[in-house]
């Protein structure tokens, strides 16, 4: 980012992927930055706290997300290169496989947008899939798209690496519970639950599933945190066919299931993309339900028969923070000119963290207009998911 920061000090609330990357770009532009989180960077309650996240550029007709994902991939790989050799990798370029049934318009537009944008993509029929991935059963799948340049991010490790990097760059980290803002007009300081305050010239709230708690009147019906389950199943002893070298990340669009190969020896990840019931990110227990496990096992038996009897070796309950359509919310607070809201990851946002942070920092520092789809005015209270 080439412009200079006219705002001297900016406080960022939330040390997940959106908050840390916003803080990174603000600091790179010369701003003083404080980043505040109630539980710490990529903590286990947060949407950024999971082990892995898929990075793909294919988004049906939604080219804005293709652009954001491609830019984010550049910045994620820069972060990986900066810390290469410092520990386990942050980026796993295993490719991403999208499975579809029949003449699916979303899949067709995904391919068209990727080709127009110059993002490598391969169309694979059932025969090609069987040749490429003999351990994958393709019953009912007539079309598949492979993004060979896609892959998987080690989510928690990547955010915590970036958070450590921010401190080295002079960003001030704080542990604190921010309470809702009162009134209207410019905000001079935000209050914490312990009675202290943090003063700044501008404030960015990137606190994910906590946004409706901080702004209940504004966002209670516009961002809905939902309970989401991911499970890890252990491959057979000595079996390498589910490693990232032989299995891509996968999205089985007809079934609403996605997953990740065996990375960091944690097992094959299976996630359910359908929106779950409401969750309180502070108070609710994170115990996986039997119905979700049964659904994942049934899917494995259908797609990866070698894992039909695999043990569940880990499981996790995290959350989405869904806007009505699945679009991001990146906009100025209507009652506070120096407060910005950056959220609405909606289950697909992690990959976009670097580009979201870059865009948000530019808005904060220049006062420029937000992207129309990301405006608060574009968010009503009627759920009609269109972004996957």
- Tokens, residue 99: 């499975």
User: Would you say 146 and 122 are in contact if contact means Cβ atoms under 8 Å apart?
Assistant: yes
Q: What pTM was estimated for this model as a whole?
A: 0.96
Q: What average pLDDT does range 176-187 have in this prediction?
A: 92
Q: What average pLDDT does range 130-134 have in this prediction?
A: 95
Q: Which DSSP category does 262 fall into?
A: B
Q: How far apart are CA 26 and CA 12, in angstroms?
A: 10
Q: pLDDT per residue over 137-154, tens digit each?
A: 999 998 899 999 999 999
Residue 3: per-residue pLDDT: 43
Place of tokens 């990866």: 304
Which DSSP helix (H) or strand (E) runs through 339? strand 336-343
User: Would you say 314 and 179 are in contact if contact means Cβ atoms under 8 Å apart?
Assistant: no
Residue 157: per-residue pLDDT: 97
Q: What average pLDDT does range 241-267 have in this prediction?
A: 96
Q: What average pLDDT does the chain have?
A: 95
Q: Helix, strand, coil: what percent of the chain each, to 5?
A: 30, 25, 45
Residue 41: per-residue pLDDT: 98
Confidence of residue 304 (pLDDT cuts 50, 70, 90): very high
pLDDT for 1 beyond 50: no
CA-based end-to-end distance of the chain? 29
User: Would you say 245 and 132 are in contact if contact means Cβ atoms under 8 Å apart?
Assistant: no
Residue 4: per-residue pLDDT: 43
Which alpha helices (H) appear in 94-244, and where do they start and end? 105-117, 126-132, 155-168, 211-214, 216-219
Q: How far apart are CA 169 and CA 146, in angstroms?
A: 38
DSSP string, 1-58: --S---SSEEEEE--SHHHHHHHHHHHHTT-EEEEEESS-TT-TTSTT-SSEEEE---
Q: How far apart are CA 213 and CA 53, in angstroms?
A: 25
Pairing of strands 143-147, 96-100: antiparallel
Instruction: Name the residue among 226, 223, 198 with its Cα closest to residue 341.
Output: 223
pLDDT for 172 beyond 90: yes
User: Would you say 356 and 21 are in contact if contact means Cβ atoms under 8 Å apart?
Assistant: yes
Please state whether 370 falls in left (phi above 0), alpha (psi between -120 and 50) or beta.
beta
Q: How far apart are CA 63 and CA 69, in angstroms?
A: 10
Q: How far apart are CA 288 and CA 190, in angstroms?
A: 36
Q: What average pLDDT does range 2-30 have in this prediction?
A: 88
Residue 7: per-residue pLDDT: 67
Q: What average pLDDT does range 225-252 have in this prediction?
A: 97
Q: How far is CA 133 from CA 92, 247, 296, 324, 371, in A?
A: 18, 7, 20, 36, 40
Domains, the chain, with CATH or none: 9-48+156-223+325-378 (3.50.50.60), 79-152+224-322 (3.30.9.10)
Q: Helix (H, G, I), strand (E, B), or coil: what is residue 138?
A: coil
Residue 354, C-beta contacts closer than 8 angstroms, at least 6 positions apart: 21, 71, 72, 74, 75, 76, 79
- Tokens, residue 296: 């994942």
Q: How far apart are CA 314 and CA 164, in angstroms?
A: 27
Q: What average pLDDT does range 80-101 have in this prediction?
A: 93
């Amino acid at each position: 980012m080439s412009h200079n920061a006219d705002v001297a000090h900016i406080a960022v609330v939330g040390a997940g992927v959106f908050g840390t990357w916003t803080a990174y770009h603000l600091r790179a532009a010369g701003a003083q930055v404080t980043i505040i989180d109630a539980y710490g960077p990529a903590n286990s309650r947060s949407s950024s706290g999971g082990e892995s996240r898929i990075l793909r550029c294919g988004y049906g007709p939604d080219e804005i997300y293709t652009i954001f994902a491609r830019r984010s991939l550049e910045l994620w790989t820069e972060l990986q290169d900066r810390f290469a050799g410092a520990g386990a990798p942050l980026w796993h370029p295993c490719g991403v496989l999208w499975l579809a049934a029949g003449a699916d318009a979303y899949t067709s537009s995904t391919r068209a947008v990727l080709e127009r944008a110059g993002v490598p993509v391969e169309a694979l029929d059932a025969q090609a899939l069987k040749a490429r991935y003999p351990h994958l059963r393709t019953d009912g799948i007539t079309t598949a798209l492979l993004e060979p340049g896609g892959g998987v991010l080690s989510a928690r490790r990547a955010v915590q690496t970036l958070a450590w990097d921010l401190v080295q760059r002079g960003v001030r980290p704080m542990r604190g519970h921010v309470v809702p803002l009162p009134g209207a007009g410019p905000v001079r300081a935000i209050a914490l639950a312990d009675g202290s305050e943090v003063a700044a010239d501008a404030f960015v709230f990137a606190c994910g599933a906590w946004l409706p708690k901080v702004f209940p009147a504004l966002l209670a019906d516009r961002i809905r945190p939902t309970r989401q389950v991911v499970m890890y199943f252990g491959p057979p002893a000595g079996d390498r066919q589910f490693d990232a070298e032989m299995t891509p990340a996968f999205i089985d669009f007809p079934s609403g299931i996605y997953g990740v190969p065996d990375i960091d020896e944690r097992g094959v990840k299976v996630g359910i993309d359908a929106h779950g019931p409401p969750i309180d990110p502070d108070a609710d227990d994170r115990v996986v339900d039997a119905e979700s496990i049964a659904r994942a096992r049934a899917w494995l038996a259908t797609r990866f028969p070698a894992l039909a009897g695999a043990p569940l070796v880990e499981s996790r309950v995290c959350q989405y923070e869904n806007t009505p359509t699945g679009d991001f919310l990146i906009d100025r607070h209507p009652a506070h000119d120096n407060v910005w809201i950056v959220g609405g990851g909606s289950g697909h946002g992690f990959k976009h963290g670097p580009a979201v942070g870059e865009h948000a920092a530019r808005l904060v520092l220049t006062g420029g207009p937000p992207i129309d789809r990301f405006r608060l005015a574009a968010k009503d209270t009627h759920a009609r998911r269109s972004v996957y």
